[in-house]
């Protein structure tokens, strides 16, 4: 990767690399249903929101494993009971460099992206890596 390419990517904003559409769970969703959705979607965590996009928490595979180990029934336990409520988020205008710093220093795998306080996307570590790698590869049909 050239110095110019690195500077181009780190100057990009969260909106440029975030994943969309975002699947979020209502707080009353059962742990079982969230686990199924995560497995089918191929992701390891999911925001928990109000219908208007206000973030209430985030639930991860780790949270689900803890719940199972604690003897909670996945069919009746809601994500509200096991989610992490102190969620680190970034604004759509945050730079990729700021996003990388948060992922690194907070040691998290993903960060929800908000606009006007509402969920609009999610950035995971692979999204950041993709931003650096994709400019060097092309797809032809």
CB 23 within 8 Å of CB 71: no
Residue 99, both tokens:
């996003």
Checking if the pLDDT of 114 tops 80, the result is: yes
CATH topology of domain 3-136: CBS-domain (3.10.580)
Checking if the pLDDT of 9 tops 80, the result is: no
**Stretch among 14-23, 53-62, 126-135 having the lowest mean pLDDT:** 126-135
> Which pLDDT score, from 0 to 100, does residue 60 have?
96
> Which pLDDT score, from 0 to 100, does residue 5 have?
62
pLDDT digit string, tens, across residues 80-93: 999 999 999 999 99
Q: What residue spans define the domains of the chain?
A: 3-136
């Amino acid at each position: 990767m050239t110095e110019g390419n690195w500077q181009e990517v780190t100057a990009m904003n969260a909106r440029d690399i975030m994943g969309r559409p975002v699947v979020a769970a209502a707080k009353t969703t059962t742990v079982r249903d969230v686990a199924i959705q995560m497995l089918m979607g191929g992701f390891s965590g999911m925001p928990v929101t109000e219908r208007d996009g206000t973030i209430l928490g985030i639930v991860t595979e780790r949270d689900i494993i803890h719940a199972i180990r604690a003897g909670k029934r996945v069919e009746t336990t809601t994500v509200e009971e096991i989610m992490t409520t102190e969620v680190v988020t970034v604004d759509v205008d945050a730079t990729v460099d700021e996003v990388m710093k948060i992922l690194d220093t907070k040691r998290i795998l993903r960060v929800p992206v908000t606009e006007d306080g509402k969920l609009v996307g999610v950035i995971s570590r692979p999204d950041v890596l993709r931003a650096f790698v994709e400019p060097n590869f092309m797809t032809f049909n």
